[in-house]
Structure 1
Amino acid sequence: MQLILISGLSGSGKSVALRVLEDLGYYCVDNLPATMLMDALKLYSEFGYKHIAISVDTRSAPTLAALPKAISELKSFVSDVRLIYLEATADVLVKRFSETRRRHPLSGNGLTVEECIRLEREMLEHVVDLGHRIDTSNLSANALRSYVKLMAEADSSRLTLVFESFGFKHGIPLDADFVFDVRCLPNPYYDEKLRPLTGRDQPICDFFAAEAEVAQMQQDIAGFLQRWLPRFKQDNRSYVTVAIGCTGGQHRSVYLAEQLAAGFADEQVLLRHRQLDGRSGDGHK
């Protein structure tokens, strides 16, 4: 049996994630109190369900404090329990609530949307580090669907190493464990022929392959990870997210994320390009 818990901030895409899992054949339950998780799982087991997804968030606020203990108990009953935590920046969440004209779940006490978001983030503070974080601030819904699908299919018995490219002018990813700044490297943006391309295109790859500094940066980042990944595995970490940032998230960071992912092919690797993945798609809910 596999259990995936979905949590995070309202408006960050939890409904999108749950629908993805439902399409993948998971038995999905929205907004179940943490104190009911074990009883529910035993019941679903009796019914023969093998893949289950449950969202747990501030709509069941009084039980949130019990979630860490509940997850520990669940792992004694099910070998594969994983939690996906979705979040986004406050300004993005405010915009989403404004566009959809939906009420924030915590708005009943006369709080503004900004105050609700701040309060909700505080309420979920002890949940953030229990699983894998995904920052949906710059993601299209289609990209989020892809990310959730990949996380569901990953081998939970192995550490997942996530390489994520991004642009500093769009903000640092909230889900990063390590952030490497590669803005000091040569920039193909200033070549008009190369400007429209991305770090995945061959002319850009050729440009960087000719620059010794780029190879040195890649070697230094790879060396750091090779040195410390074994310690993360010993610490029973399930995910480590390495963010590589340049100015716009189109050339340097994309190229290096691609190269590093290829260099760690022996590990369980996921590759994300925040700015490229977030260029199109529908909204979040």
Structure 2
Amino acid sequence: MSGFPDRELLHATAVELDTPDGAIGVLLRGPSGSGKSDLALRLIDDGARLVADDQTQLELDEGRIMASAPAQIEGTLEVRGVGLASVQSARQTEIRLVIELTGGSPLDRLPEEHSVVLLGQPIPALHLDARQPSAAAKLRLAARSRASGLGVRPLAGTAVPEARGVEALPVVVVTGLSGAGRTTALKLLEDIGYEAIDNLPLNLLGAAVLAGHLDRPVALGADIRNRDFAAQPFLEQLDSLIAEPALKVKLVFMDCADEVLQRRFTETRRRHPLAQERPLADGLAAERTMTAPLKARADLVVDTSNLAVADVRRLMTGHFGLGTAGLAVFVTSFSFRQGLPREADLVLDVRFLRNPHYVEALRPLTGRNAQVAAYVTGDPAFASFFGNLTALIDPLLPRYEAEGKSYLTIAIGCTGGKHRSVAVAEKLGAWLTAQGRAVTIGHRDTPAG
């Protein structure tokens, strides 16, 4: 006698997932309200099958833990706000992974492997927060790893399921300096439709994409806090992803000036990962050295030194927005006193135009005012300048598109960023709109008005 029962009814939810190595049963455990049914619904919506919701019958069968539903609830899932719903189901599955739902408790970044005992049998277990948008993706990744029996397979030679539709699946890999906004960028990508997965070990980056059904764009985050972080292995993983024809991979590097990073770490009282026992400046310098090869390879470098969250959102949406076609253009005015916009692709200086600041009636107004705009465009030099400007930009736009560029930022500066630059930015934006371009206009250093 083993001392363990061979049957047990648990307060748990069970689902069955398909992996490249076959189906695998997953048991979701946690207190009421921890999100068992909600996580099961997300998995089912992505192709999984329900075995049992809330009450799961376990039975020992020749060393295997088999799960099924009590007859009265078979094939039904309780969906809060909807009620009982009939969903795709499986009558029985072998439980090979247990997910312990934490109900919002903090998770270890690099958890130790552990297991739970069911009917006398040890089963691998993982803690997850069902409320995290990436919970279903993490669960599928863990299930695939468990099903293979050897951990996640290397990328080389791994067959990628055929992507749905004719276009390659967008994959955005976000890295950069600590404190520069990588987490914010991931959240913003998630807001516009990407499945965001953060802080995976480097050898799992590829598997996070390849293990899925390739029907939803993916944003992956990795930085020096990853246990095995080094530039060369990172780039090797990146190259493996780029080599997959079903994927369209872009690397984003989040950057920031050292003085701004120092202020951010001081204000938040956070320790820099490389400055635990040395000055912050030394940690920042070491991180810049470690990540320099990644910045050199990046498709997009975002310097957040002077950017608000709304600016980062605009950049993420402009470069990686889903369902948009053609080149999107952002035209912004700025003050040279406040420094150049670091995200600008083209910078124009209009300080040669006559300045409304010296006209008392115009001084309190901005370049969006009709009187100010008329004063600026009435400069004898304006007509030839604007004609040459549009003649320069017009042939550039289709060439940028042909090179795969999806977002262009044109910055127009004057001394105070209030009159001339604003008026020219508005006029250029109107001209681009008339050419059928998708245009957004902003004014960095003056309120709209």
TM-score (norm 2): 0.52
Offset from partner CA, 1:68-98 (integer Å, 9 cap, x none)? 5245235x2224x444443332222222222
Q: Does 1:55 align with 2:224?
A: no
Deviation at 1:107, TM superposition (A): 1.9
Structure 2 residue aligned with 1:207: 375
Q: Does 1:78 align with 2:274?
A: no
SS in 2 for 1:186: coil
Task: Return the alpha-carbon distance in structure 1 between the equivalents of residues 287 and 322 of structure 2.
Answer: 29
Offset from partner CA, 1:185-204 (integer Å, 9 cap, x none)? 22222334433433333333
Of 260, 270, 280, the residue aligned with 1:113 is: 280
Deviation at 1:40, TM superposition (A): 0.8
TM alignment of 1:236-251, pairs within 5 A: 236-251=404-419
**Contact 1:163–1:241 (8 Å) recurs in 2:** yes
Deviation at 1:109, TM superposition (A): 6.2
SS in 2 for 1:106: coil
Structure 2 residue aligned with 1:66: 236
Structure 1 residue aligned with 2:267: 99
TM alignment of 1:172-183, pairs within 5 A: 172-183=340-351
Between Structure 1 and Structure 2, the one with more helix by share is: 1
Deviation at 1:260, TM superposition (A): 2.2
TM-score (norm 1): 0.78
Unaligned runs of 5+ in 1: 280-285
Task: Return the alpha-carbon distance in structure 2 between the equivalents of residues 119 and 194 of structure 1.
Answer: 50
TM alignment of 1:117-196, pairs within 5 A: 117-128=284-295, 130-153=298-321, 158-196=326-364
Task: Return the alpha-carbon distance in structure 2 between the equivalents of residues 67 and 258 of structure 1.
Answer: 44
Offset from partner CA, 1:207-264 (integer Å, 9 cap, x none)? 2232232343333332222344444344444444332222232332233223223322
In structure 2, the CA distance between the partners of 1:216 and 1:152, relative to structure 1 (3 Å rule), is same
Task: Return the alpha-carbon distance in structure 1 between the equivalents of residues 220 and 174 of structure 2.
Answer: 6
SS in 1 for 2:411: strand
Structure 1 residue aligned with 2:149: none
SS in 2 for 1:164: strand
Of 167, 179, 186, the residue aligned with 1:18 is: 186
**Contact 1:139–1:274 (8 Å) recurs in 2:** no
Query: Which amino acid is 2:222 matched to?
Result: V
Give the aligned CA root-mean-square deviation in angstroms.
Answer: 3.2
Of 250, 263, 277, the residue aligned with 2:431 is: 263
Structure 1 residue aligned with 2:13: none
Moved more, 63-72 or 182-191: 63-72
In structure 2, the CA distance between the partners of 1:145 and 1:240, relative to structure 1 (3 Å rule), is closer
Query: Which amino acid is 2:246 matched to?
Result: F
In structure 2, the CA distance between the partners of 1:156 and 1:31, relative to structure 1 (3 Å rule), is farther
Higher relative contact order (CA 8 A, sep 6+): 1
Q: Give the greater-gyration-radius structure (CA).
A: 2
Task: Return the alpha-carbon distance in structure 2 between the equivalents of residues 262 and 33 of structure 1.
Answer: 47
**Contact 1:5–1:54 (8 Å) recurs in 2:** yes
**Contact 2:346–2:409 (8 Å) recurs in 1:** yes
In structure 2, the CA distance between the partners of 1:120 and 1:221, relative to structure 1 (3 Å rule), is farther
SS in 2 for 1:117: helix
Offset from partner CA, 1:16-65 (integer Å, 9 cap, x none)? 2222333445321123355433211022336xx61322223333431333
**Contact 1:35–1:67 (8 Å) recurs in 2:** yes
Task: Return the alpha-carbon distance in structure 1 between the equivalents of residues 418 and 237 of structure 2.
Answer: 39
Regions of 4+ moved over 6 Å: none
Structure 2 residue aligned with 1:282: none
**Contact 2:318–2:328 (8 Å) recurs in 1:** no
Query: Which amino acid is 2:217 matched to?
Result: H
**Contact 1:35–1:66 (8 Å) recurs in 2:** no
